[in-house]
Chain A
Amino acid sequence: MAPPAQSHRSSSPSQPSGKGEVSDLKSQLRQLAGSRAPGVDDSKRDLFKKVISYMTIGIDVSAVFGEMVMCSATSDIVLKKMCYLYVGNYAKVNPDLALLTINFLQRDCKDADPMIRGLALRSLCSLRVANLVEYLVGPLGSGLKDNSSYVRIVAVMGVLKLYHISASTCVDADFPQTLKHLMLNDSDTQVVANCLTALQEIWSAEASTSEEASREREALLSKPVVFYFLNRIREFSEWAQCLVLDLAAKYVPSDNNEIFDIMNLLEDRLQHANGAVVLATIKLFLQLTLSMADVHQQVYERIKAPLLTLVSSGSPEQSYAVLSHLHLLVMRAPYIFSSDYKHFYCQYNEPSYVKKLKLEMLTAVANESNTYEIVTELCEYAANVDIPIARESIRAVGKIALQQYDVNAIVDRLLQFLEMEKDYVTAEALVLVKDLLRKYPQWSQDCIAVVGNISSKNVQEPKAKAALIWMLGEYSQEMHDAPYILESLIENWDEEHSAEVRLHLLTAVMKCFFKRPPETQKALGAALAAGLADFHQDVHDRALFYYRVLQHNVSVAERVVNPPKQAVSVFADTQSSEIKDRIFDEFNSLSVVYQKPSYMFTDKEHRGPFEFSDELGNLSIGAESAVGTVVPAHRVEANDKDLLLSTSEKEEIKGPSNNGSAYSAPSYDGSAVSAASQALSELTILNPSVPGLTPQSSLAIDDLLGLGLPEIPSPAAAPSPPLLKLNSKAILDPGTFQQKWRQLPISLSQEYSVSPQGVAALTTSEALLRHMQGHSIHCIASGGQSPNFKFFFFAQKAEELSTFLVECIINTSSAKAQIKIKADDQSASQEFSALFQSALSKFGVP
């Protein structure tokens, strides 16, 4: 409860301001305190209620603490409960007052009525006052041995509360061991479940400092314990079942028979009406079958119906949580759900957060057999009164078009959108047509015919305008009046507020000029003049750059601005597969709803208790430091590198890198260098977020611009090790990594020293992991700040599928690296360690 924070609310007329009422209450309570008159309990109840209602709305009633305690000497359990509630709320902020309550709480802990014993013990443990812990140990000890299961249930949670107030008191009293004993022997399932909860929290927190706790934590995942729980799962309450299922999901079975045993045992949990039980079961099934592709797929088939049932029963909120999980599965394996597309149709009364998920699912499951119907449905939404959803729907149609082979019909639909004459529909459709043309240049005839009819005056949104201008530039040959439209746009240069549009305009008029010089010359001149006078730095610099390139040599300028383009084959995903795998590993958690791995939205101490991913979790994955949309280089084909770039300023980057060898570096005067370095800084900003823009390609540009920047160490230069050969394209998903890391013993643990150059170079973790990748040692997770860095690496043998896993902690102030190696083939780990050390020693050495 938060009394002080909301106290300003009390100014509202409906709620009393406090002061006067509180002193009134105080005197009334005092009168009743000693009274034994008949009916006094009823009057006390009324007063207590008043106190608690003030407390709820945020009025500070701590002033009546003494009176409340005095009045609590009663056998009326309702009064006692209210008193406990009150005491629990104010004890933390008033520790000296809390001391007053200890006496009567301790007395109540010995009451004949188990209800009172339990309630008193719970209140006692909820005081959250550190200097009172000495009073807790005794009552807790007897509570854990109480005959009544109600008291034991309370006592187990009390131990956990004590641990949070004073961990050492809890451990010194040997409570964790008592709980362990209770967990394995108590007859009451709720006591057992609470023990499991408490022990998971306690041992996870202790594990970082205590070897023993870490062993105990591991022991919770041992076969006897896990099966002890699984075999009794039906006796537990539905909530405790979730707990057991979560535990089992972390267990690594020894063989496939065990996996099938567990799945058969839990099969009927999929028919539970509680969505939390079903999702926990699904998580377990998915985790268990990760290594068996065919069974894994059967699991998908099996869980489809229960998930769909959960989506359509229950409240909209519950169904959203389930739908988010279904969404994740659909995105992972769209083909399994392609015949269920009708379930993903939107209903008019669904909230937009549901509709958005469904649109993405519809997009994902579209294939040859259902595309026609899905696109027809999406076109209905495009006319929807809900404009954001209408826009999303059009984008969805576009995405489907980009992922299909037969786009004939879809192109027609898109062109119909353009004819609908709704501003936002036209705007979205223009952006799509642009993307479509980049992938399917063969459709240019049809598209251009329709786009040509659109008056640029009706297009206002910058993204759409930029798309239209791009098409005007790109297809100025085919579009009859392209130069004149561009010219009129340039005339209104000053009214164009979006810098993006002005940048596009510059590029488009350049392209148009190369194709139809006489008609465009005037417009080009006007555009360059306007651009040079532009207050926006990028626009100004681009205009200047074009101007000087044109001055230097027109044909060179054409090669830079309008090189021949390849059709885009695949538009890159916005989320890396590592991130997706991480989210999948965190199935049945908020990560799925937010579509982010947990390290992105939780701080370390609050990450789920008792998870291996705690270790990996606080580290960021691979190279996607801040940007979050990185695809590792080896996953993306080189020719896709320009596909992400949707604006034309990036085309210039592509230009030189394609034609780099044929291009001789011109000499620049001072101002031109500033333009060039501007381009370069764009480039370096882009670099981390552009997949496939490998060091080589940026190197080429560095050279080409003749700025003499320090060279990035080329991976090719890495000397190959003498004996052990590693696969430079090794792939391992984080889930498998975690599983292996759990399963394999440590085969080698060493400490190396790091060279001073290496220490100097290790300013960010990215630097090292890029370096190690050059030695075919890949990073799966990294984190930390100077002076402590932590990395998880993996490598695979070149010839066979034998993996090495490395945990590497580098402390730059002591210049030491601590290495733990786990390997499929342990005999090779010595050799690998040597290799790792040699790679590490080259770090930072030019």
Chain B
Amino acid sequence: MISQFFVLSQRGDNIVFRDYRGEVPKGSAEIFFRKVKFWKEDGEGDAPPVFNVDGVNYFHVKVAGLLFVATTRVNVSPSLVLELLQRIARVIKDYLGILNEDSLRKNFVLVYELLDEVIDFGYVKTTSTEVLKSYIFNEPIVIDAARLPSLGAAGIFMQGSKRRMPGTAVTKSVVANEPGGRKREEIFVDIIEKISVTFSSSGYILTSEIDGTIQMKSYLSGNPEIRLALNDDLSIGRGRSSIYDYGNSSGSGSVILDDCNFHESVHLDNFDIDRTLALVPPDGEFPVMNYRMTQEFRTPFRINALIEEAGPLKAEVILKVRAEFASSITANTILVQMPLPAYTTRVTFELEPGAVGNTTDFKEANKRLEWGLKKIVGGSEHTLRAKLTFSQESHGNIVKESGPVSMTFTIPMYNCSRLQVKYLQIAKKSKTDHPYRWVRYVTQANSYVARL
């Protein structure tokens, strides 16, 4: 049970504010914002998602640069409230197409209407876009997507893959019609994998994990049933074979998930037999399945990093990145970062001859080297040399005072787990209409780190 819900902009302005129970004193939004702002300035890092000030519990999630906040005086389940906030953000996004400060301000009446149906007297009624549709009467005022720089997950597909995808499709509202009045029948299935890898100083993989989601967004009319077939050789339950005996499937080639969970609309009746998921997709974007895998996989990039003293008050850094995927695939928005010794004063960079789309920078404030690459084509190797100048002699080991190297990237149409959607079947009565089916893969770095 929550007492209030509000959305604050980055500057702390109320965009939407709803009080459901009248138990929390006025001014809570300001108390909250002040606390969050000063948490960081007090050197304690980010404010935790849940904290208590004078008996009032504040919950918040950050979505699209906005703060979605709930307050309560009751000792509630934190998971429930944080999940709820995330869902509210998702419902709003389903309706507005694009969620940001601008779209929210333009559509605040619609948002109030949604909130009234989502929460009554502090209790959740429903967060299903499907259910809400019959209660909502305001039409969204859709903002222009083209001039938006970043679109989060949707943006992944817009970069470098325009030929394949109609980029605006993912950012359209569940209720708005296409220009021309006719709604396009289509369904999107995205396999999004976030990978975390830590390489030891000798290049050996210390830990690796894939956190994946099969995300679906359906614009199909008439609620047809969908069947999604995954790899035949998929098995679940690594590391708990003592409880679940799935037989010895750890042979080569098979995909072994540690664990997974499913959206409530998914029927698993045939999952054990032929690895198919059956569901009637509700409106809006939702995760069909979340999975986690620690089975070894081919890492997309190898990182070689070296720092060496080069005379008094000088050192040299060599960073090498090699793409270990097929040349038909291109990674984009790559950023390599490396903390340097605290007494570094100046850095000069030297790129390979002919390098294009590279940016290099030395962030003085946090003594960090940054190397950005627009694109990396599979199979290629890129090198950066940097000469460091120090303000004082280093006493200890400069290797210990710098690093680790971290890397972020996005690789469209590539996934590490080899989990696949083999087919996507739509049980549709009408034979004339063939809905568009988009199955897309993307891999992103979550924490991709090489130690020195």
Residue pair B75, A312 in contact (C-beta under 8 Å): no
What is the CB-to-nearest-CB distance from A245 to chain B, in angstroms, rounded to a whole number? 10
Assess whether A197 is interfacial by the CB under 8 Å rule.
yes
Binds A, one of B41-49, B224-232, B380-388: B41-49
Assess whether A607 is interfacial by the CB under 8 Å rule.
yes
Residue pair B27, A590 in contact (C-beta under 8 Å): no
Residue pair B78, A313 in contact (C-beta under 8 Å): no
CA distance A603 to B258 in the complex (A): 42
What is the CB-to-nearest-CB distance from B49 to chain A, in angstroms, rounded to a whole number? 4
Residue-wise interface mask of A (304-337) relative to B, using a CB-CB cutoff of 8 A (1 in contact, 0 not):
1110111011111110111011000000000000
Residue pair A602, B75 in contact (C-beta under 8 Å): yes
Residue pair B16, A56 in contact (C-beta under 8 Å): yes
Point out the residues of chain B lying under 8 angstroms from A317, CB to CB: 49, 59-62, 82, 85-86
Residue pair B49, A320 in contact (C-beta under 8 Å): yes
In-complex Cβ contact of B109 among A52, A115, A197 (8 A): A52
Assess whether A522 is interfacial by the CB under 8 Å rule.
no
CA distance A118 to B82 in the complex (A): 28
Residue-wise interface mask of A (559-570) relative to B, using a CB-CB cutoff of 8 A (1 in contact, 0 not):
000000000000
Point out the residues of chain B lying under 8 angstroms from A197, CB to CB: 123
How many residues from A make CB contacts under 8 Å with B? 98
Assess whether B196 is interfacial by the CB under 8 Å rule.
yes
Assess whether B126 is interfacial by the CB under 8 Å rule.
yes
Within A259-318, the residues touching B (CB, 8 Å) are 271-276, 278-280, 301-302, 304-306, 308-310, 312-318
Point out the residues of chain A lying under 8 angstroms from B237, CB to CB: 305
Assess whether A58 is interfacial by the CB under 8 Å rule.
yes
Residue pair A318, B82 in contact (C-beta under 8 Å): yes
Assess whether A824 is interfacial by the CB under 8 Å rule.
no
Residue pair B287, A273 in contact (C-beta under 8 Å): yes
CA distance A691 to B123 in the complex (A): 44
Residue pair B86, A315 in contact (C-beta under 8 Å): yes
Known A273-B287, A352-B45; judge A1-B82 contact (CB<8 A). Answer: no
Point out the residues of chain B lying under 8 angstroms from A230, CB to CB: none
Residue pair B259, A306 in contact (C-beta under 8 Å): yes
Binds A, one of B165-173, B205-213, B424-432: B205-213
Residue-wise interface mask of B (248-271) relative to A, using a CB-CB cutoff of 8 A (1 in contact, 0 not):
000000000011111110000000
CA distance A56 to B28 in the complex (A): 14
What is the CB-to-nearest-CB distance from A646 to chain B, in angstroms, rounded to a whole number? 24
CA distance A444 to B451 in the complex (A): 33
Assess whether A135 is interfacial by the CB under 8 Å rule.
no
Assess whether B218 is interfacial by the CB under 8 Å rule.
no
Residue pair A352, B243 in contact (C-beta under 8 Å): no
In-complex Cβ contact of A312 among B23, B55, B137, B211 (8 A): B211
CA distance A809 to B207 in the complex (A): 57
In-complex Cβ contact of B23 among A353, A380, A606 (8 A): A606
Binds A, one of B175-183, B317-325, B370-378, B393-401: B393-401
Residue pair A242, B446 in contact (C-beta under 8 Å): no
Residue pair A602, B290 in contact (C-beta under 8 Å): no
Known A53-B108, A153-B125; judge A1-B17 contact (CB<8 A). Answer: yes
What is the CB-to-nearest-CB distance from A803 to chain B, in angstroms, rounded to a whole number? 28
Interface SS majority for chain B = mixed
Point out the residues of chain A lying under 8 angstroms from B74, CB to CB: 602, 606-609
Residue pair B207, A345 in contact (C-beta under 8 Å): yes
Assess whether A180 is interfacial by the CB under 8 Å rule.
no
Interface centre among B85, B292, B395 (most CB of A within 10 A): B292
Assess whether A372 is interfacial by the CB under 8 Å rule.
no
CA distance A275 to B22 in the complex (A): 28
What is the CB-to-nearest-CB distance from A372 to chain B, in angstroms, rounded to a whole number? 13
Assess whether B334 is interfacial by the CB under 8 Å rule.
no
Cβ-closest chain B residue relative to A161: B121
Point out the residues of chain B lying under 8 angstroms from A52, CB to CB: 108-109, 112
Residue pair A271, B52 in contact (C-beta under 8 Å): no
Residue pair B55, A603 in contact (C-beta under 8 Å): yes
CA distance A352 to B42 in the complex (A): 13
In-complex Cβ contact of A271 among B73, B80, B260, B287 (8 A): B260
Residue pair B116, A57 in contact (C-beta under 8 Å): no
Interface centre among A57, A304, A317, A602 (most CB of B within 10 A): A317
Known A237-B128, A306-B259, A388-B43; judge A301-B79 contact (CB<8 A). Answer: no
CA distance A271 to B236 in the complex (A): 12
Residue pair B50, A56 in contact (C-beta under 8 Å): no
In-complex Cβ contact of B243 among A49, A81, A302, A592 (8 A): A302
Point out the residues of chain B lying under 8 angstroms from A272, CB to CB: 261-262, 264
Assess whether B26 is interfacial by the CB under 8 Å rule.
yes
Assess whether B15 is interfacial by the CB under 8 Å rule.
yes
In-complex Cβ contact of B78 among A239, A377, A593 (8 A): A593
Interface centre among A92, A350, A385 (most CB of B within 10 A): A385
Residue-wise interface mask of A (371-410) relative to B, using a CB-CB cutoff of 8 A (1 in contact, 0 not):
0000001001001011010000000000000000000000
Point out the residues of chain A lying under 8 angstroms from B211, CB to CB: 312-313
CA distance A276 to B15 in the complex (A): 27
Residue-wise interface mask of B (350-391) relative to A, using a CB-CB cutoff of 8 A (1 in contact, 0 not):
000000000000000011000000000000000000000000
In-complex Cβ contact of A318 among B57, B79, B239, B264 (8 A): B79
What is the CB-to-nearest-CB distance from A454 to chain B, in angstroms, rounded to a whole number? 14
Residue pair A301, B243 in contact (C-beta under 8 Å): yes
Residue pair A388, B45 in contact (C-beta under 8 Å): yes
Residue pair A594, B52 in contact (C-beta under 8 Å): yes
Residue-wise interface mask of A (762-781) relative to B, using a CB-CB cutoff of 8 A (1 in contact, 0 not):
00000000000000000000
Residue-wise interface mask of B (327-343) relative to A, using a CB-CB cutoff of 8 A (1 in contact, 0 not):
00000000000010000
Point out the residues of chain B lying under 8 angstroms from A380, CB to CB: 404, 451
Assess whether A536 is interfacial by the CB under 8 Å rule.
no
Residue-wise interface mask of A (591-619) relative to B, using a CB-CB cutoff of 8 A (1 in contact, 0 not):
11110001001110011110000000000
Residue pair B112, A279 in contact (C-beta under 8 Å): no
Point out the residues of chain B lying under 8 angstroms from A421, CB to CB: 395-396
What is the CB-to-nearest-CB distance from B167 to chain A, in angstroms, rounded to a whole number? 24
Known A590-B76, A594-B52; judge A157-B196 contact (CB<8 A). Answer: no
Interface centre among B43, B46, B264, B395 (most CB of A within 10 A): B264
Cβ-closest chain B residue relative to A280: B77
Assess whether B444 is interfacial by the CB under 8 Å rule.
no
Within B186-243, the residues touching A (CB, 8 Å) are 196, 198, 206-207, 209, 211, 213, 237, 239-240, 242-243
Assess whether B303 is interfacial by the CB under 8 Å rule.
no
Assess whether A154 is interfacial by the CB under 8 Å rule.
yes
Residue-wise interface mask of A (101-129) relative to B, using a CB-CB cutoff of 8 A (1 in contact, 0 not):
00000000000000100000010000010
Binds B, one of A2-10, A219-227, A703-711: A2-10
What is the CB-to-nearest-CB distance from A142 to chain B, in angstroms, rounded to a whole number? 19
Assess whether B120 is interfacial by the CB under 8 Å rule.
yes
Q: A305-B239, A420-B396 are in contact. List 15 more A-B contacts (CB 8 A).
A: A2-B19, A56-B14, A82-B109, A92-B22, A237-B128, A239-B124, A302-B243, A306-B259, A315-B61, A315-B63, A315-B86, A353-B45, A383-B400, A598-B75, A603-B55
Report 24 cross-chain contacts, Cβ distance below 8 Å, ordered by A residue: A6-B30, A56-B17, A82-B112, A161-B121, A238-B264, A273-B287, A274-B83, A274-B264, A279-B79, A305-B239, A309-B261, A314-B290, A315-B86, A318-B61, A318-B83, A321-B49, A322-B79, A324-B78, A348-B447, A351-B46, A352-B44, A352-B46, A383-B400, A421-B395
Which 3 pairs across A and B sit closest by C-beta, in order of nearness?
A352-B45, A347-B447, A317-B49
